[in-house]
Structure 1
Amino acid sequence: MKPITEYTDYRKFMLDYYEDRKAHSVFSWREFSNLAGFSSCSYMKVVCDGKSKLSKQGVERTAQAMGLVGFDVEYFRAMVTFCQSRSDAKKKEAFERMCAIAKNHKVRVLEERLFDYYESWKNPTLRELAPLMPGATPGELAKKCYPPVTAWEVQETLKFLTDSGLLLKAKDGTYSQSESSITGSSEATRLAIRTAHRQMSQLAANSLDLPTTERNITGVTMGISDETYDRIVHELETFRQKIISIAVADKNINQVYRLNLQFFPLTRKVKEVPHEND
């Protein structure tokens, strides 16, 4: 079984623990639940299925049932808080705690680098810009950014990107991308992406001061049903993929742009549509 610090989802960690025990001995959800002191024989399965949460007491009993000791227990506590918190601020605090625990014990959290990448708009921007300006100094790169950044910020960002393997630096000082695109799927990455969306939305608002020859911002307000919402989201995703294909095929890149697809409610639902089985 993988070390606990390779997990950011405590339910996945618990499920892997269960599967590992079951593969090497006679082990059931009933036994797992009993070891943790729960009266329900299927409670641990219910938790792993995402249908229930662990209380503070439940966290301690579950950690003991799995035989966690030392910093593994601390990490498990922080991981449960990270997964169960509704507040992005609390989630971020818990994730940073997980990373700190891992760092103190000379291990790493696999999602930490991607989390850091999405935390600042400068990372994706300079990842695209640096390869376009071979031999450019941090000061020269800084002058090309909207909004303005310092040469020191550019230098630190480039160091992070190269240390993370997200940019490759050649001997002559030029940069190239290790991968054409970056995606994330874990809860930690999704949390950081929400921060990125907030930053990019603010940058979009600031771009209204640019001439219309350099930016295109339009919008439409409409009333729709749940079914129409799903259809529009599908069309937006198809459109996004088409835009990516167009951009990837471009061989004469001279500027970095950001496309925001924003489709959000302006009101609460007027009425709930009953389901067929109701």
Structure 2
Amino acid sequence: MKPIFEYTDYREWIRDAFEDFKKRKSVVSWRYMAMKLDADPGNLLRVSQSKIHLSVNLIKPMAEFFGLDEKETAYWTELVHFGRAKTDSEALNHYEKMQMLKGIPLKRLAKKELEFYRHWYYNAIRSIIGICKFKDDYEGLAESCTPAITVEQAKEAVQLLYDLNMISTDRDGFWKVNDTFVSTGGNWRSEAVRAFQKETIRLAGESLERHAPPLRDISTVTMTFNMDDIALIREKIKEFRSELLRLSQEGTGDNTVFQLNIQLFPLGFVKKLQEREK
């Protein structure tokens, strides 16, 4: 199986580690592992099925059961807390620690550097540079964006990315991405990021006319939930987002930059109507 450092979903790692363990041992079952961990076998199975979260007090015993070394255990601990995180800031904190354990440098944006989020194409161009060779064909770079931007905007974007040390040139003069992950630190919910989100949501709407159906997947559905279930819904969305991020990180031969917007918001509150009826 692949190294634990390549996982971003702790429950996927549990499934793979368990199957790998069975190949090396004569008799292994969820009940056997539960007995060794002093845990409920049914709960362990539900954890592996992504139905519930692993109890925090089982993090260390499970690491010992699978024979993880010190660094692997540290990553495993952050991996579980990342999967259990209830807020973006909490998830980001554990994700950053995971990246540091992997030896991946992180780039935190200071307030003055939040200019990066002022236009959608800054992020798009950074991603384009990360998957193709680019030197000085700014016209081609501008046309690679969808919608296309001007040559001046493309040059402006490259200059900003360079000023922020997000990109640099190699020995042959081609631009390359310096960091693999960018966070906004304490400004995770800053006005700049919200403006960026609004701009990408606008682009999603325009994609209905700009791109053919095979190039997009935009669907809408109106549902009703109990407000007490919203935390669970957000958790499901986060798991889906994490899985796509994992596929993106593990992919090879990437040739297209996509923007994923997952939008969940209320359209009506019946509480006020119910109060009026009393």
TM bracket (short chain)? 0.5 to 0.7
Secondary structure of 1:193 counterpart: helix
- Whether the 8 Å CA contact 2:129–2:177 is kept in 1: the answer is no
Higher relative CO (Cα under 8 Å, sequence separation at least 6) belongs to 2
| 1:121 Cα deviation after fit | 0.3
* Bigger helix share: 2
Which residue matches 2:236? 235
Which residue matches 2:200? 200
Using the size of structure 2 for normalisation, the TM-score is 0.55
Which residue matches 2:116? 117
| 1:133 Cα deviation after fit | 3.0
Change (3 A) 1:155 1:171: farther
Which residue matches 1:213? 214
In 2, the alpha carbon distance for the partners of 1:231 and 1:173 equals 48
The AA in structure 1 aligned to 2:191 is: L
Change (3 A) 1:212 1:188: closer
What does 1:52-67 correspond to in 2, within 5 Å? none
| 1:185 Cα deviation after fit | 3.4
Change (3 A) 1:188 1:233: closer
Which residue matches 2:184? 184
Secondary structure of 2:185 counterpart: coil
Which residue matches 2:150? 150
The AA in structure 2 aligned to 1:270 is: K
What does 1:238-249 correspond to in 2, within 5 Å? 238-249=239-250
In 2, the alpha carbon distance for the partners of 1:110 and 1:130 equals 23
Which residue matches 1:223? 224
Establish whether residue 133 from structure 1 lines up as the match of residue 128 from structure 2: no
Identity %: 22
| 1:148 Cα deviation after fit | 1.4
The AA in structure 1 aligned to 2:121 is: K
In 2, the alpha carbon distance for the partners of 1:185 and 1:123 equals 19
Secondary structure of 2:168 counterpart: strand
Establish whether residue 175 from structure 1 lines up as the match of residue 175 from structure 2: yes
In 1, the alpha carbon distance for the partners of 2:132 and 2:190 equals 31
The C-alpha deviation readout for 1:225-260, integer Å capped at 9, x for no partner, is: 122111100110111111100001111100100000
In 1, the alpha carbon distance for the partners of 2:153 and 2:224 equals 44
- Whether the 8 Å CA contact 1:131–1:174 is kept in 2: the answer is no
The C-alpha deviation readout for 1:132-163, integer Å capped at 9, x for no partner, is: 33135111111111111111110110010011
In 2, the alpha carbon distance for the partners of 1:197 and 1:135 equals 27
- Whether the 8 Å CA contact 1:118–1:196 is kept in 2: the answer is yes
Runs of 4+ displaced beyond 4 Å: none
- Whether the 8 Å CA contact 2:126–2:177 is kept in 1: the answer is yes
Secondary structure of 2:126 counterpart: helix
* Number of residue pairs matched by the alignment: 165
The C-alpha deviation readout for 1:186-242, integer Å capped at 9, x for no partner, is: 237622110001100010011112111100011211111122111100110111111
In 2, the alpha carbon distance for the partners of 1:132 and 1:234 equals 30
The AA in structure 2 aligned to 1:266 is: L
Secondary structure of 2:197 counterpart: helix
The C-alpha deviation readout for 1:59-83, integer Å capped at 9, x for no partner, is: xxxxxxxxxxxxxxxxxxxxxxxxx
The AA in structure 2 aligned to 1:125 is: A
The AA in structure 1 aligned to 2:185 is: S
In 2, the alpha carbon distance for the partners of 1:236 and 1:272 equals 29
- Whether the 8 Å CA contact 1:111–1:189 is kept in 2: the answer is no
In 2, the alpha carbon distance for the partners of 1:197 and 1:110 equals 19
In 1, the alpha carbon distance for the partners of 2:270 and 2:197 equals 24
In 2, the alpha carbon distance for the partners of 1:188 and 1:111 equals 11
- Give the superposed CA RMSD: 2.3
What does 1:73-84 correspond to in 2, within 5 Å? none
| 1:268 Cα deviation after fit | 3.2
Change (3 A) 1:251 1:244: same
Point out where structure 2 has 5 or more consecutive residues left out of the alignment: 1-108
Secondary structure of 1:186 counterpart: helix
